[in-house]
Chain A
């Protein structure tokens, strides 16, 4: 289960937009080069049609598809699939380097719930993460949808799930937790939007979680509720505001941060499988 940190360095410290993807029909791992060619041709054709992604700049988009063998939970999971779009300006010389303009990857981390029930000919990679221009995401997404008869949907994260994330991640043991545990709330029903940011020293947050969690390695809804209630009560004591009546929209910890619109940033490779497992679970429940 140990993932090679070099191979996964690309996914740290980037804001990834999350999607759930239904199983891919007749996807063959051996044909990655063919798929890359086809996707590249598709993108060039769409650009010809005038759906230009970059205005005024002549860019050739090069597509690379690769598998990341280590990025999976169990043997039942499919290895992660990485799609990278690079550009090389036609104007510059042959020696110029390719510039990565967009990346997206499909992943299944302990996604047995879905992969077990999927018929033959279908490949289960329920979580998709993209980074880069939305226009490229929709080009790549349309090609995959047409080619493999699958469906992409933005994955939103509810306040309930965000509170799970902050409780889990605040409790992670880190050598150096150098960023605060932060929760951002949006106040409802106001004429002008108002956000409240509640920052807690990471050691205090971890100490609180340690008193709440009964069995190491296991987390229950009750424990998450107690953790959150303590934070709400503390805030109310000082500011007389009931954060529990507001909408939790973003959580940040030294391990990872997540926004309710379905955007995550992973900061530590140490807890990568745990974070991906939680996101895979959310993607699967959106599909089912």
Chain B
């Protein structure tokens, strides 16, 4: 399900299936997309931040079109205990690989992989901080 911002319209609440993963997309060429994500984050229930949220930064292939500082995005990831993925949608190989990564994450968040839960993502992030 794709949405340009949160909250989702309440009229469709009863028709909506369970949400397992929320991916916030930030276009590094658009300051506006970061602001949009920041305001939308406020509408996400706190329980999602236990591994069911991730940030996907697109457009990283073009260094010269950068409108957002990568530091700011990494800080956002840290503040919300959620992983930050970087990708370039214009390159097919990276696009496909990123889609596969997200799918793997989604399967874990939906509980399809026995023995691994969304909470694993949170503890993985904690470990890299200790390095």
A interface, CB within 8 angstroms of B:
156-160, 163, 188, 221, 228, 232, 242, 244-248, 260
What are 14 sample pairs from A and B whose C-beta atoms fall under 8 A apart?
A156-B64, A157-B64, A159-B29, A159-B65, A160-B67, A160-B69, A221-B71, A228-B31, A244-B31, A244-B67, A245-B30, A245-B32, A245-B33, A247-B29
Residue in A228, A232, A245 with the greatest tally of chain B CB atoms within 10 Å: A245
- Report the contact-size class of chain B (Cβ under 8 Å from the partner): 10 to 19
B interface, CB within 8 angstroms of A:
29-33, 35, 63-69, 71-72
Residue in B30, B32, B67 with the greatest tally of chain A CB atoms within 10 Å: B67
Q: What A residues does B66 contact at CB under 8 A?
A: 158-160
Q: What B residues does A163 contact at CB under 8 A?
A: 67
Distance in angstroms between the alpha carbons of A159 and B32 in the assembled complex: 13
State the Cβ distance, A36 to closest chain B Cβ, in Å: 34
Q: What B residues does A244 contact at CB under 8 A?
A: 30-32, 35, 67
Residue from the list B33, B65, B68, B69 in contact with A247, Cβ < 8 A: B65
State the Cβ distance, B36 to closest chain A Cβ, in Å: 9
Distance in angstroms between the alpha carbons of A206 and B65 in the assembled complex: 26
Q: What B residues does A246 contact at CB under 8 A?
A: 30
State the Cβ distance, A265 to closest chain B Cβ, in Å: 19
* Interface pair B32/A158, CB less than 8 Å apart: no
Residue from the list A158, A247, A248, A260 in contact with B63, Cβ < 8 A: A158
* Interface pair A158/B65, CB less than 8 Å apart: yes
Q: A157-B64, A160-B68, A188-B29 are in contact. List 7 more A-B contacts (CB 8 A).
A: A158-B65, A159-B29, A159-B65, A221-B69, A221-B71, A232-B31, A247-B29
Q: What A residues does B64 contact at CB under 8 A?
A: 156-158, 260
